[in-house]
Amino acid sequence: MIKKLLILPPLLLSVLACSGQQTTSAAGSDAVGNGGSVSYSIGQIDYSQSAGNGFVFSEGVQQPFEIFITGVEDVLEAIGVHVFPNPAKDEIQAESTEERFGYRLYDASGKLLQTAPAISKIHRIGLQSYSAGTYYLYPIQSNKPLPTITIIKR
């Protein structure tokens, strides 16, 4: 009887220490075949990684893929100012299809970086000295501000 009582606590502790994998998933299932079975899920938020001789096995790894659609093309045609390339690396070119225009370039915090008077239909705007991020171009035609154009610098 005493031997049974001595074996019982370690047995209970080992059962309590066991835990299964738990996750919040959007969907999933079990697949069974001749070679074995596998469980999978969609929307898993955690992963573990095992490495061996010449391989790495990552369980539960999912990479997000996001698509953002903006109405930039419609706005640019409506105001008559085209900016390209956008996103840009070192320089952008802004062109007006109708008349000369000037511009003001601001960073994301609202700091004025560059200005140009309305003396040309084409402006080459250097971005080399700025870090990667979002910038805002305010074109001005006939002393009237036009809608803002968002510039992405890589």
**How far, in Å, CA of 148 to CA of 86, rounded?**
14
pLDDT in tens, 52-67: 777 776 665 554 555 5
Q: How many CA atoms lie within 13 A of 116 on its CB side?
A: 19
- Classify residue 28: in a domain, yes or no: no
Q: How confident is the model at residue 76 (pLDDT cuts 50, 70, 90)?
A: very low
Using the predicted structure, report yes or no on whether residue 112 has a pLDDT greater than 50.
yes
Residue 143 DSSP one-character state: T
Pull the structure tokens for residue 122: 């084409």
- Classify residue 134: in a domain, yes or no: yes
As for how many domains the chain has, the answer is 1
Listed in sequence order, the residues at least 6 apart from 128 whose beta carbon sits closer than 8 Å to its beta carbon are 90, 91
pLDDT in tens, 4-51: 666 766 666 665 555 555 555 556 777 788 878 877 666 655 666 777
142: domain CATH number is 2.60.40.10
By residue range, what is the domain housing residue 99?
72-153
